[in-house]
Amino acid sequence: MRRTLTMLFILVGLGLMVVGYVSSAPWGASSVADSNPDFLGAPTVFIIGIVTVLAAALVYELLPARDDDRVG
Amino acid sequence: MKVEKSLPQGVGKFTPGWIVFIAVAMVVLIIGVLAYLYEANMGLIVTGMANIGTQGGATWGLYVVMVEYFIGVSLAGIVLVAFAHVFDIKALRAISRLALLLTTCSLMVGLLAVLIDLGTPIRGIINMILYVRPQSPFFGTFTLVAVGVLLSSLMYLYLDGRRDAAYLADIDSGLRWYHRLWAAGYGDTQAEQERHRRTMFWLSILIVPFVIVALSTEGLVFGIQVGRPGWFGALQAPDFIILAAASGLANLIVLTAIVRRVLKDDSTLIGPAVFKWLGGLLLAATAAAVYLQIVELVTMLYATPGNERLLADALLRGPYAWIFWSGLFLVVFGLTLLVTQAARRQWSLGVLIIASVAISTSVVAERYLTVIPSQTHGMMLPYEPGSYFPTWVEFAVVAGMFALGALLIGLFMKVFPIIPLDGKRAEQEVLVDA
Amino acid sequence: MTRYAMAVDLDLCQGCRGCMVACKVENNTVEGNFWMYVFRFEAGTYPDTKITFLPRPCQHCDNAPCVKVCPVGARFKREDGLVLTDADRCIGCRYCELACPYGVNYFNWQKPEKAQYAIVDWRDESIESVTGGLIPPYKNPDLDELWGDEQRRTAGGGHAKGVMEKCTFCVHRVEKGLEPACVDSCPTNALVFGDLDDPDTPMSRYLRENRTWQLLEEAGTRPRVYYVGGTPPTRHQTEIERPKATV
């Protein structure tokens, strides 16, 4: 359960980073469109992606798992 | 007879020395804040900066130099701790929390310096969140560094401290609620310890390339500018990282020595092995830094294309010569001291501190020489060369930045032990009459 | 498709700097900011000196480094070629100023009202009663408008403390079918402006009929300003009669 959730956090985070990056202003210096993101706040999606990937480590360490109680 | 346990390493105890330190730091910080408020009201005209070209000034001044310096210093702590976790270097365990704290505080101050330098700081934050463009190197500063590296180091600090927090939460004190919150139910079972080790290992493996990529964008800010002689070049990013490592380790050594001095009875927790490691790593980083500087110097002396000739002259013989040569002298001096220590296999703390101060100062000079001369003497069109000197406002604000960093570290030491307890019974037992 | 460009004939330019003044009046730029700037160069040593002049507007590059580095997209390139600055989005990081090899960018270091030319004391009561307190009172109302399909505040200078500005090819005039103020005011017609995609404009004909060079071609910026006659500037020339105002 913990491992699944951790992987989910990492994948969702990476996904958000990709979506955020490609939705932000494109590389280019030839048109007005190169200065605007696809939607306002697209970079925030990228940032949330970074936070989500990092939170995966917190999830992995903090989430209690039933199988651990049997050890130690 | 009742035995009362008290918090270790002076946590929760406000000594007169600490109070004086906090008072002085607060005064300097307040002066810095007042200077900044003056600048925010009047505009950046109160600094020594001016437009490049026709106005013959430098448009990025001491603030950007400090941005580069502070963000650079933050590299060493987190990479050192990652390195220690991956290779299981127990000797560095004692300073892992201090190293992470240095990274966190230095990074926060560096990012604050970015805001201080903006023409419209509040709009800056809002517009970055809404609009920041990936093509600009500042994208890396705003997302990877400001969010990624900062959160990584905060998370590292948090996870690393849970075990000690759980131990401290057993001690009845005013900070108990805080220690309980930090511990978040840590049970210190074998399974939990194993899980913690695994998390830290994987985090460390991934953090190092991430941090290096993120901080390389700081070097790329300069390196990709075709229009700025002295900046354009592939060496800027590696140069940033290597100087970051050297300045970070140097600052960590000085900080460790101070903490060791302040902790008095607990000072034995930081043994000679720590300084041996730090000294050795600083030697490696400084050697790399000197190598880069010599390569740069040789290239400049051998041949400089037209636009860079003016810049090279300004650095070697002109208005920046005193900074250039003293910076080079200090870093070579620092390196020589470190080599003699390594050769004698005896790391004297005093010599280490002198070497660290010399190297750190040299890095400040290098950052200054990266930022400023390419603006006053680096115009591709034949404008007259310019000049720049910081005003009292810039000095006051920068002093405030240093005070803020010191204050954050000083305050942390009073709410949490700076040296990991690692299950050692480090509490002080006080015998009280029944 | 429109493709605006400018040509500067250095054989016709006499260095009168009338274009600098016209630009300043049209765009209300503050003291020390010279969007259009004319270098006065001296080469050689007395008595064998040679004086040359080089007008330097913003080059409105096709591969503009200032556009590439702007973190928030305040500096952008329009499809018709103009490189403009959105005064409402600019955060004042001054990165564009450092990216530009030509040095055409200017930052507003203080409140623009304080930086305007103090020909008279604008706050004098007798003057305020006439001007209604406006500083400067001759401000062009077009400069506060939103321009172009993108509807952004890109015309004119002195919008606010803490934002960047530079030559706009007088976007507020071009949108109305006029020429930039510098081109309009040049007494020798040394400056030519027009649409390169229309072969019948004076600009297109000028390029067809003359050999041209461009400033700092080696920087790879692909500027839209073409120079006719004269030679590219070198370090053998020293600047004389540079403006004394700093910020």
pLDDT at B421 over 90: no
pLDDT at site B4: 52
* Full domain range(s) for residue B298: 2-432
Q: Which domains does chain C have, with CATH numbers?
A: 4-240 (3.30.70.20)
Q: Is the Cβ of C78 closer than 8 Å to some Cβ of chain A?
A: yes
Least confident of B304-308, C108-112, C158-162, C212-216: B304-308
Residue B143 sits at φ, ψ, to 5 deg, of -100, -60
Among B59, B65, B144, most C C-beta atoms within 10 A, so best to mutate, is B59
pLDDT bracket for residue B423 (50, 70, 90):
low
For range B87-100, the mean pLDDT: 92
pLDDT at site B5: 65
Among A1, A5, A47, most B C-beta atoms within 10 A, so best to mutate, is A47
For range C195-211, the mean pLDDT: 94
ipTM: 0.91
Q: Is the Cβ of B373 closer than 8 Å to some Cβ of chain C?
A: no
pLDDT bracket for residue C127 (50, 70, 90):
confident
Element containing residue B1 per DSSP (H, E): none
Least confident of B84-88, B157-161, B246-250, B423-427: B423-427
pLDDT at B374 over 90: yes
Pairing of strands C4-9, C225-228: parallel
Angle of helix B96-117 relative to helix B150-169, nearest 10 degrees, comes to 140
pLDDT at site B69: 97
pLDDT at C120 over 80: no
Minimal Cα–Cα distance from B29 to chain C, Å? 24
For tokens 């970055």, what's the residue?
B128
* Residue (of B9, B73, B33) closest to B412 by Cα position: B9
Domain count for chain B, please give it: 1
The CATH number of the domain holding residue B73 is: 1.20.1630.10
**Cβ contact, residue pair B43, C246, below 8 Å:** no
**Cβ contact, residue pair C77, A29, below 8 Å:** yes
For range B183-199, the mean pLDDT: 84
Provide DSSP, B97-128: HHHHHHHHHHHHHHHHHHHHHSSSHHHHHHHH
Share of chain B above pLDDT 90, in %: 74
Q: What's the predicted TM-score (pTM) here?
A: 0.93
Distance CA B271, CA B252 (A): 15
Least confident of B255-264, B318-327, C12-21: B255-264
Check: CB of residue B49 under 8 Å from CB of residue B376: no
Q: What is the pLDDT of residues A23-38, one digit of tens each?
A: 999 999 999 999 999 9
**Cβ contact, residue pair C78, A25, below 8 Å:** no
Q: What is the pLDDT of residues B310-368, one digit of tens each?
A: 999 999 999 999 999 999 999 999 999 999 999 998 889 999 999 999 999 999 999 99
Provide DSSP, C112-127: HHHHS--SS-TT-HHH
Residues from chain B that touch C115, judged by Cβ atoms under 8 A, are 45
Among B136, B224, B232, B389, most C C-beta atoms within 10 A, so best to mutate, is B136
Q: Is the Cβ of C3 closer than 8 Å to some Cβ of chain A?
A: no
Check: CB of residue C159 under 8 Å from CB of residue C112: yes
Minimal Cα–Cα distance from B413 to chain A, Å? 24
Q: What is the pLDDT of residues C77-113, one digit of tens each?
A: 999 999 999 999 999 999 999 999 999 999 999 998 8
Residue C84 sits at φ, ψ, to 5 deg, of -125, 165
Residues from chain B that touch C235, judged by Cβ atoms under 8 A, are 306, 309-310, 382
For tokens 């450092």, what's the residue?
C98
**Cβ contact, residue pair A62, B184, below 8 Å:** yes
Residue C97 region, left (φ>0) first, then alpha (ψ -120 to 50), else beta?
Answer: alpha
Residue C107 sits at φ, ψ, to 5 deg, of -105, 145
B229 preceded by a cis bond (ω within 30 of 0): no
Of C41, C73, C94, the CB nearest to B60: C94
Burial of C209 from C-beta contacts in 10 A (0-12 / 13-18 / 19+): exposed
Q: Is the Cβ of B134 closer than 8 Å to some Cβ of chain C?
A: no
Chain B stretch 150-189, residues whose beta carbon is closer than 8 A to a beta carbon of chain A: 151-152, 155, 158-159, 162, 184-185, 189
For tokens 């010191």, what's the residue?
B406
Name the residue of chain A whose CA is nearest to B158's CA: A58
Distance CA B81, CA B157 (A): 10
Of B131, B147, B203, the CB nearest to A47: B147
Residues from chain A that touch B192, judged by Cβ atoms under 8 A, are 68, 72
For range B49-54, the mean pLDDT: 94
pLDDT bracket for residue B139 (50, 70, 90):
very high
Element containing residue B11 per DSSP (H, E): none
Provide DSSP, C33-50: --SSEEEEEEES-TTS-E
**Cβ contact, residue pair C221, B43, below 8 Å:** no
Beta bridge mates, C6: C193, C225
Name the residue of chain A whose CA is nearest to C72's CA: A35
Of C61, C73, C77, the CB nearest to A36: C73
Task: Choose between C56 and C120: higher pLDDT.
Answer: C56
For chain A, list residues whose CB is within 8 angstroms of any CB belonging to chain C. 25, 29-32, 34-36
Residues from chain B that touch C92, judged by Cβ atoms under 8 A, are 44, 118-120, 124
**Cβ contact, residue pair C107, B51, below 8 Å:** yes
Distance CA C15, CA C37 (A): 10
pLDDT at site C209: 94
